[in-house]
Chains A and B, each alone.
Chain A
Amino acid sequence: MKTAKINVKDGDLLATLREFFRSILQLDDISAILVPQHLPMKNVVMPTLVTDPEQLNGANPLAPVFPMNAGKIVSRLTRKPTGGKVAVVLRPCEIRAFIELVKLKQGRIEEVVLVGIDCLGAYKNVDYAQMIEKEETEFTSRFYRNVLSGKEMAEQGFDLNPACKACEHPIPSGADILIGLFGVDTNKNLLVQARTPKGEDLYRNLDLSNAEEPPERAAVVEALIAERTAYRDKMFAETTEVTNSVEKLNIYLANCINCYNCRVACPVCYCKECVFVTDVFNHEPIQYLRWANRKGVIKMPTDTVFYHITRLAHMSTACVGCGQCSNACPNNIPVMELFRTVSFRTQKAFEYEPGRSVEDDPPLSVFREDELSDVVGIG
Chain B
Amino acid sequence: MKKKIGKALVVGAGISGIRAALDLAEFGYGVTLIDRSPHIGGILSQLDYQFPTDHCGMCKMLPLVDRDSSSQYCLRKGLFHENIDIHLSTELASVQGEPGHFQIMLRQKPNLVDPARCIGCGECVKVCPVEIPDSFNAGLSVRKAIYLPVPHAIPNSYIIDTMACTKCGDCEAICPTGAVKILEEVQKDFRILVVDDELILRDSLKEWLQDEGFTVDTAASGPEALDLLSKQAYQLMLTDIKMPGMDGVELLQKAKEDFPDLCVVMMTAYATVETAVEAMKIGALDYFLKPFDPDTLVPIVLRIYQDIEAAKEAPMEVGAIVFCGGTAYFNPADGKNTFGYGVYPNVVTSLEFERILSGTGPSQGRLIRPSDSKPIQKVAWLQCVGSRDIQIDADFCSSICCMYAIKEALVAKEKAEAELEAVIFYMDMRTFGKSFQRYRDRAENEHGIRFQRGRVHTVLQDETSGDLIISHIDYSGACREEVFDMVVLSVGQKPASGTTALSEMVGISLNQWGFGQTQPFSLTQTDQEGILLGGSFSGLKDINESVIQASAAALSASRVIHTAGGSLAPELIPDEPLLDVSKEPPRVMVAVCTCGDLLPKLLDTKQLVRRLEIDPAVNQVVFIEQTCTAEGWENLVDLVEKHKPNRVLIGVCLPYIYERKISELGRQAGLNPALIDVVDIMHIAQSSTLKAETPSTDEISAVNKELLAILGMGVGRLKWADPAPVPSVRIIQKALIVGGGIAGMTSALAIADHGFQVDLVEQEEMLGGNLNWLQRTLEGNSTKTILEETILKVEKHSLIRVHSGSRVLASYGQVGRFYTTIEHKEKGALTVEHGVTILATGGAEATTTSYGYGTDKAIVTQKELEQKLSDKTLEPAQLGSVVMIQCVDSREEPRNYCSRICCATALKHALHFKEENPDIAIYILYRDIMTYGFAETYYTQARKAGVIFIPYHMAEKPEVTTLDGSVQVTAAESIIGQKVQIDADLVVLATGIVSTLPKDLAEAFGVTLDQDGFFEEAEYKWRPVDSLKEGIFACGLTHSPRNITESIATAEAASQRALRILSHEQMPAGKVVAEVHHSLCSLCELCIGACPYGARTLDLDLEKILVNAAMCQGCGSCAAVCPNSASILVGFSDRQMFDVIDFALEGTALD
Residues of A bordering B, CB below 8 Å:
104-106, 270-275, 278-280, 286-287, 290-291, 293-296, 314-315, 361-362, 364-365
Contact = CB atoms under 8 A, between A and B. Distances in A.
A273 B615 contact: no
Nearest to A275: B1124
Nearest to A79: B1083
B792 interface: no
A294 B1080 contact: no
A290 B613 CA distance: 12
Nearest to A289: B614
Contact of A272 (B616, B1082, B1133, B1135): B1082
Interface stretch (B38-46, B85-93, B551-559, B1085-1093): B1085-1093
Contacts of A295: 1150
Given A275-B1124, A365-B1121, 13 more contacts: A105-B1083, A105-B1084, A105-B1085, A106-B1084, A271-B1080, A272-B1124, A272-B1126, A274-B1124, A278-B1080, A279-B1135, A290-B614, A364-B1121, A365-B1086
Contacts of B1142: 287, 290-291
B70 to A, nearest CB: 27
Q: Which of B615, B1084, B1090 has the most CB of A within 10 A?
A: B1084
Contacts of B1146: 294
A315 B1082 CA distance: 15
B722 interface: no
Contacts of B1149: 293-294
Contacts of B1121: 364-365
Contacts of B1090: 364-365
B1145 interface: yes
A294 B1148 contact: yes
B72 to A, nearest CB: 22
Contacts of A105: 1083-1085
Contact of A104 (B1086, B1133, B1135, B1138): B1086
B1150 A296 contact: yes
B1145 A294 contact: yes
Contacts of B1085: 104-105
A28 to B, nearest CB: 30
Nearest to A272: B1082
A294 B1135 contact: no
Given A280-B1135, A293-B1149, A104 B1084 contact: yes
Interface of B: 614-616, 1079-1086, 1089-1090, 1121, 1123-1126, 1133-1135, 1138, 1142, 1145-1146, 1148-1150
A272 B1104 CA distance: 14
22 contacts: A104-B1084, A105-B1084, A106-B1084, A270-B1082, A271-B1124, A272-B1079, A272-B1080, A272-B1081, A272-B1124, A273-B1124, A275-B1134, A278-B1080, A278-B1125, A280-B1134, A280-B1135, A286-B614, A286-B615, A290-B614, A294-B1145, A314-B1123, A362-B1086, A364-B1090
B612 to A, nearest CB: 12
Which 9 pairs from chain A and chain B are nearest by CB? A271-B1124, A314-B1123, A275-B1124, A104-B1084, A280-B1134, A294-B1149, A365-B1089, A272-B1082, A105-B1085
Contacts of B1079: 272-273
A294 B611 CA distance: 13
A271 B1148 CA distance: 34
Contacts of B1123: 271, 275, 314-315
Nearest to B1139: A287
Nearest to A365: B1089
Contacts of B1089: 361, 365
A361 B1126 CA distance: 21
A20 B1083 CA distance: 37
A271 B1150 contact: no
B1145 A270 contact: no
A105 B1088 CA distance: 12
Contacts of A290: 614, 1142
Contacts of B615: 286
Nearest to A269: B1123
A126 B616 CA distance: 48
Nearest to A313: B1123
Nearest to A276: B1124
B1075 to A, nearest CB: 15
B110 to A, nearest CB: 45
Given A280-B1125, A365-B1090, A293 B1150 contact: yes
A361 B1089 CA distance: 11
A143 B1145 CA distance: 56
B1134 A271 contact: no
Contacts of B1148: 294
A365 B1088 CA distance: 9
B1150 A106 contact: no
B452 to A, nearest CB: 32
Contacts of B1125: 275, 278, 280
A274 B1123 CA distance: 8
Contacts of A104: 1082, 1084-1086
A106 B1082 contact: yes
Nearest to A364: B1121
B133 to A, nearest CB: 34
A106 to B, nearest CB: 7
A311 to B, nearest CB: 9
Contacts of A286: 614-616
Nearest to B1103: A80
Contacts of B1126: 271-272
Contacts of A273: 1079-1080, 1124
B1124 A278 contact: yes
B1133 to A, nearest CB: 8
A271 B1082 contact: yes
A274 B1133 CA distance: 16
Contacts of B1133: 280
A252 to B, nearest CB: 23
A295 B1148 CA distance: 9
Contacts of B1138: 280
B943 to A, nearest CB: 46
A296 B1124 CA distance: 31
Contact of B1150 (A275, A287, A294, A315): A294
A305 to B, nearest CB: 15
B587 to A, nearest CB: 15
B1125 to A, nearest CB: 5
A317 B783 CA distance: 62
A270 B1085 CA distance: 12
Contacts of A278: 1080, 1124-1125
Nearest to A279: B1135
A362 B614 CA distance: 45
Nearest to B1145: A294
A358 to B, nearest CB: 14
Nearest to B1134: A280
Q: Which of B615, B1086, B1123, B1149 has the most CB of A within 10 A?
A: B1123
B785 to A, nearest CB: 49
A105 B1084 CA distance: 5
A354 B99 CA distance: 67
A51 to B, nearest CB: 27
B414 to A, nearest CB: 12
B1143 to A, nearest CB: 9
Q: Which of B1124, B1145, B1146 has the most CB of A within 10 A?
A: B1124
A17 B13 CA distance: 79
B1028 to A, nearest CB: 14
A239 B1090 CA distance: 34
A5 B746 CA distance: 74
B1150 to A, nearest CB: 6
Contacts of A315: 1123
Contacts of A280: 1125, 1133-1135, 1138
A278 B1123 CA distance: 12
A179 B1083 CA distance: 34
Contacts of B1082: 104, 106, 270-272
A316 B1138 CA distance: 23
